Amino acid sequence: MTHGPTVPPPPDASFRWEDSAVLVTGGTGSFGRKFVEHMLRDKKPRKLIIFSRDELKQHDMRTSGYDHPSLRYFIGDVRDTDRLRRAMKGVDVVVHAAALKQVPACEYNPIEAVLTNVMGARNVIDATLDTGVKRVLALSTDKAVNPVNLYGATKLVAEKLFVQANAYAGSGPTRFSCVRYGNVIGSRGSVVPLFTRQRCQGKVTITDPRMTRFWLTLDHGVRFVIDCIERMHGGEVFVPKIPSMNIMDLARAVAPGCEIENIGMRPGEKLHESLLGEYEAAHAVETDDMFVIKPEHPWWQGENWHTARPVAPGFTYASDANDEFLSIDDLKQMIGEPTGTAA
């Protein structure tokens, strides 16, 4: 490995949140709500548009305190390109967080998953190109690396679409990048709410005691996305350096003393996850807090991220071989449970 500075390049000095109109697809989801919270508190954009398809969630979000002069609520679906174009008129930054993400639901409804996660990605790309949006960041997942289920496969395709969309932008203003990270604590459909419900019955279910996952808080994910928007050149896939956890430790942190039942792996489920695959190491660099997977295309400017160092040939970033693992007490602190000796 070539040793050298491990700090990322400074943010683009010409980019100012307070002068920007920002749109987030899937804005009423777990990520969207936390992103809006950070934007209103810390960045104060000129306009902030929440784009989602559920009017009840928008109503609940507005009445729960997300009501500000800069906020706009747009009913719409990423499957509808015309509605996306209308919503993105005059927008400078788009964060694409809308997706069908539940693995079993995607397996059972594969065409729906493709229409939202793949065709929806295409529609966001077309709309941002047509309206001259300057920065587009799409959210991806560790399941896009060597995918074994349909959800991961659709997110891999979406990543490829967003990276290569920079070729369609040409000399235009629009630049596209992706963020890829692991499981988010407490997001909708995550295992923590499941364990919390199950502990009332005195028994929690796991699929394999050896299972490991990358783990981060919603706050960490949102801050990482904001930082990447400020630093992106277009074409990068950004991967944060985050800790891993073992599913048995998580069960003991959430439900100490409960019986643990092993129910076996579900279809499309991996024992461990990767955030950076071996094939990507040849064009990946790292800083102290992230990996950056650079595209291998003629339009990429080679001097970008020159202050970061290349990763070792054949390097992989996998949840079971991570340098940082969370203890039971670490997990308790992250999920807001009382710390102490686990049963």
Per-domain boundaries in the chain: 17-182+216-242+275-316
pLDDT of residue 13: 77
Q: How many helices (H) and strands (E) does the chain have?
A: 11, 17
Q: Are strands 93-96 and 21-25 parallel, antiparallel or unpaired?
A: parallel
Residue 51: count other Cβ atoms within 10 Å of its Cβ: 30
Weakest mean pLDDT among 84-93, 152-161, 306-315, 329-338 = 329-338
pLDDT of residue 303: 73
Weakest mean pLDDT among 9-13, 193-197, 310-314 = 9-13
Rounded CA-CA distance 146/150 in Å is 11
Rounded CA-CA distance 304/281 in Å is 17
| 143 belongs to the catalytic site | yes
Q: Is 25 left (phi over 0), alpha (psi -120 to 50) or beta?
A: beta
SS3 content of the chain, % helix, strand, coil (to 5): 40, 20, 40
Are the CB atoms for 285 and 291 separated by under 8 Å? yes
Closest CA to 301 of 235, 257, 251: 235
**pTM of this prediction exceeds 0.85:** yes
Grade residue 343 by pLDDT with cuts at 50, 70 and 90: very low
Grade residue 1 by pLDDT with cuts at 50, 70 and 90: very low
Q: Which CATH superfamily is domain 17-182+216-242+275-316 in?
A: NAD(P)-binding Rossmann-like Domain (3.40.50.720)
Rounded CA-CA distance 190/321 in Å is 22
Rounded CA-CA distance 255/337 in Å is 10
Sheet bearing 93-96, strands edge to edge: 71-75, 47-52, 21-25, 93-96, 135-141, 175-181, 237-240, 290-293, 284-286, 309-310
Looking at 34, 101, 143, 270, which residue is catalytic?
143
Grade residue 12 by pLDDT with cuts at 50, 70 and 90: confident
Listed in sequence order, the residues at least 6 apart from 260 whose beta carbon sits closer than 8 Å to its beta carbon are 203, 204, 205, 206, 209, 248, 251
